């Protein structure tokens, strides 16, 4: 059975056993066209769920903070105009209609401990007009290490410290504009994490959160999301928060690449031909050209619903809207997952994916894309197809390179690295300076993505890399290596005792429901 998938910047026609199952995401659901977004947003603000309309919340003396996501979502980047530009442009008009003075409006990119957005990236998200009006005095990145801006609000009932931006608590209304692709995002996570510091993020981005429960990609049953909710409730005692959530559809690819996400029975004749010839065509290109092709993808996402109001009420509407776009039902758990990882990651925008992200993106993200229980059996295996180049962006991934060079040679155990390395990385003056002034991810960030793999690292019998020329990277990452897919499948069968193989075609995203 042929499985069209990625391996870095290459497309593969991988050979799977005839009995293997290849799963595809649901067909994209039609969304609100860009021309209809301003009206949909106005209607959402006129009839929000769980709180008063915008017109009753603001007036001429109101101080308003508009917060928005960084470019980790929507992912990949949207074709311009980005939905944030459209929604925030209309939101500013509606605030002006209520008499809110422009000098009383602040805009913040809620980057948390992600790297800050550069000027050209903010232009891509917001457009030239918004940037000209507000940058740099009223529009900026949140800085989790800016002592003058950070306010300690005490602790939750469980003793977790709560810190946030002064801009949040000094506003009469915080409006968070959120583009939600998967249940991980949105809800209480938006403000509580987006404006969180190391002190307030470390308690929920910790291996203890996923040691016994794998739920990080959805709020139900998640220790992580429960902690975030407690923190959010403390923040809301000090400010009023309205969220605007756009539940995004599955239109990842422009039209000429849509065949990459379709099951064979949905392909046209031309798409079947493209699917057959694409691996050979891509191999004929040099690596820089292949990288340029994939890095140039601009998604066509559209919101299936735009909802405004109180956090819990809005997020439930969002989750209900997302489920039909994401859900794929399977009647059993599988022995082995085969997944081809592209050279794309929400934490490697404008960069090559590094070896740490290869493992963490598959075990921390893809393994956890399920609604009820893992779609891999306990003791199962995961095979990752990726060349695993030992490259680290010289600005964005400074902490990741040190994690690779200093932490992983000593341990791959999340609890050991938490005890022995986390604090020194998080407090390191050089890494803090890189985060604050050189567009790097925070020193704690590589730990967070590794911690999300805590559950699968103990749940699985084996994780096997296929693509590197030798086992060097695998040994450093604490996983296995195979010279080709056939060897990997044979090894997986040996360690699991079964040969029920599943392969996922992602992107677009999908969540599995195990019905059996």
Per-residue pLDDT of the chain (516 residues; tens, 9 = 90+): 899 999 999 999 999 999 999 999 999 999 999 999 999 999 999 999 999 999 999 999 999 999 999 999 898 999 999 999 999 999 999 999 999 999 999 999 999 999 999 999 999 999 999 999 999 999 999 999 999 999 999 999 999 999 999 999 999 999 999 999 999 999 999 999 999 999 999 999 999 999 998 888 989 899 999 999 999 999 999 999 999 999 999 999 998 899 999 999 999 999 999 999 999 998 899 989 998 888 889 999 999 999 999 999 999 999 999 999 999 999 999 999 999 999 999 999 999 999 999 999 999 999 999 999 999 999 999 999 999 999 999 999 999 999 999 999 999 999 999 999 999 999 999 999 999 999 999 999 999 999 999 999 999 999 999 999 999 999 999 999 999 999 999 999 999 999 999 999 999 999 999 997
Give the alpha-carbon dihedral of 260, 261, 264, 269, to 10 degrees. Answer: -50
Q: Any idea what DSSP says for residue 299? A: B
> Do 215 and 134 reside in the same domain of the chain?
yes
Q: Any idea what DSSP says for residue 470? A: S
| Residue 193, pLDDT score | 98
- Quote the number of domains for the chain: 2
Q: Is residue 222 part of a domain?
A: yes
| Residue 516, pLDDT score | 78
Q: Is residue 294 part of a domain?
A: no
> Do 17 and 117 reside in the same domain of the chain?
no
Residue 114 CA to residue 92 CA, distance in Å, equals 26
Kindly give the interhelix angle for 119-126 and 83-97, rounded to the nearest 10 degrees. 70
| Residue 376, pLDDT score | 98
> Do 8 and 68 reside in the same domain of the chain?
no
| Residue 216, pLDDT score | 87
| Residue 215, pLDDT score | 87
Q: Is residue 301 part of a domain?
A: no
CA angle at residue 337 from 268 to 179, to 5 degrees?
A: 65
Structure tokens at 246: 């756009």
Q: Is residue 326 part of a domain?
A: no
**Which CATH number belongs to the domain containing residue 159 in this structure?**
3.40.50.11440
Q: Are 126 and 82 in contact (CB under 8 A)?
A: yes
> Do 215 and 197 reside in the same domain of the chain?
yes
Q: Is residue 295 part of a domain?
A: no
Give the alpha-carbon dihedral of 36, 243, 312, 110, to 10 degrees. Answer: 120
Q: Is residue 278 part of a domain?
A: no
Q: Any idea what DSSP says for residue 165? A: E
Q: Is residue 434 part of a domain?
A: yes
> 107 preceded by cis ω (within 30°)?
no
- Nearest Cα to 346, choosing from 328, 364, 322? 364
Query: Would residue 116 be called left, alpha or beta, if left means φ above 0 and alpha means ψ between -120 and 50 degrees?
Result: beta
Domain end (from 200, 224, 248): 248
> Do 67 and 206 reside in the same domain of the chain?
yes
Residue 198: count other Cβ atoms within 10 Å of its Cβ. Answer: 23
Q: Is residue 341 part of a domain?
A: yes
Q: Are 460 and 381 in contact (CB under 8 A)?
A: yes
**Beta strand pairing call for 2-7 and 10-15:** antiparallel
Domain end (from 191, 221, 248): 248
Domain end (from 224, 248, 272): 248
H helix or E strand, kind and range, residue 347:
none
**Which CATH number belongs to the domain containing residue 501 in this structure?**
3.90.226.30
H helix or E strand, kind and range, residue 360:
helix 355-360
CA angle at residue 20 from 325 to 214, to 5 degrees?
A: 55
Residues of the chain with pLDDT > 90, as a percent, come to 94
Range of the domain at 15: 2-26+331-514
> Do 60 and 10 reside in the same domain of the chain?
no
């Amino acid at each position: 059975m042929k499985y069209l998938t990625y391996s870095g910047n290459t497309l593969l026609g991988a050979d799977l056993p005839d009995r293997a199952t290849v799963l595809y995401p649901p067909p994209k659901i039609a969304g609100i066209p860009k021309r209809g977004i301003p009206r949909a947003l106005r209607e959402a603000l006129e009839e929000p769920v769980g709180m008063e309309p915008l017109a009753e919340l603001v007036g001429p003396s109101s101080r308003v903070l508009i917060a928005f996501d960084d470019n980790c979502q929507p992912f990949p980047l949207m074709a311009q105009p980005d939905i944030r530009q459209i929604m925030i442009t209309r939101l500013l008009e509606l605030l002006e209609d209520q008499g809110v003075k422009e000098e009383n409006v602040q805009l913040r990119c809620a980057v948390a401990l992600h790297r800050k957005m550069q000027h050209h990236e903010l232009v891509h998200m917001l457009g030239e007009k918004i940037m000209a009006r507000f940058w740099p005095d009223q529009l900026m990145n949140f800085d989790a290490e800016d002592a003058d801006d950070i306010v300690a609000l005490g602790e939750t009932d469980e003793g977790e410290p709560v810190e946030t931006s002064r801009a949040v608590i000094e506003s009469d209304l915080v409006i968070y504009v959120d583009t939600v692709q998967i249940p991980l995002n949105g809800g209480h996570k938006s403000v509580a994490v987006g404006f969180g510091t190391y002190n307030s993020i470390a308690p929920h981005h910790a291996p203890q959160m996923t040691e016994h429960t794998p739920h990080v990609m959805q709020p139900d049953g998640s220790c992580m999301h429960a902690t975030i909710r407690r923190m959010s409730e403390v923040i809301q005692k000090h400010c009023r928060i309205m969220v605007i959530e756009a539940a995004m559809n599955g239109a990842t690819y422009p039209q000429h690449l849509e065949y990459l996400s379709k099951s064979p029975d949905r392909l046209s004749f031309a798409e079947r031909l493209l699917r057959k010839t694409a691996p050979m065509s891509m191999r004929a290109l040099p690596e820089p050209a292949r990288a340029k092709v994939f890095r140039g993808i601009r998604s066509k996402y559209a919101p299936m619903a735009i909802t405004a109001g109180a956090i819990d009420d809005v997020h439930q509407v969002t989750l209900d809207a997302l489920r039909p776009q994401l859900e794929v039902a399977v009647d059993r758990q599988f022995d082995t997952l085969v997944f081809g990882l592209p050279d794309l990651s929400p934490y490697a925008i404008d960069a090559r994916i590094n070896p740490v992200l290869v493992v963490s993106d598959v075990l921390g993200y893809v393994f956890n894309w399920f609604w009820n229980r893992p779609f891999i059996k306990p003791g199962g295996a995961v095979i990752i197809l990726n060349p695993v180049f030992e490259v680290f962006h010289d600005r964005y991934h400074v902490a990741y390179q040190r994690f690779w060079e200093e932490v992983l040679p000593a341990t791959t155990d999340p609890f050991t690295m938490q005890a022995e390395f986390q604090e020194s990385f998080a407090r390191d003056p050089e890494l803090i300076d890189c985060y604050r002034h050189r567009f790097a991810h925070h020193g704690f960030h590589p730990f967070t993505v590794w911690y999300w793999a805590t559950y699968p690292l103990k749940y699985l019998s084996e994780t096997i890399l296929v693509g590197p020329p030798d086992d060097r990277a695998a040994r450093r990452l604490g996983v296995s290596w195979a010279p080709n897919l056939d060897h990997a499948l044979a090894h997986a069968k040996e360690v699991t005792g079964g040969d029920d193989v599943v392969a996922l075609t992602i992107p677009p995203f999908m969540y599995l429901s195990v019905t059996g």
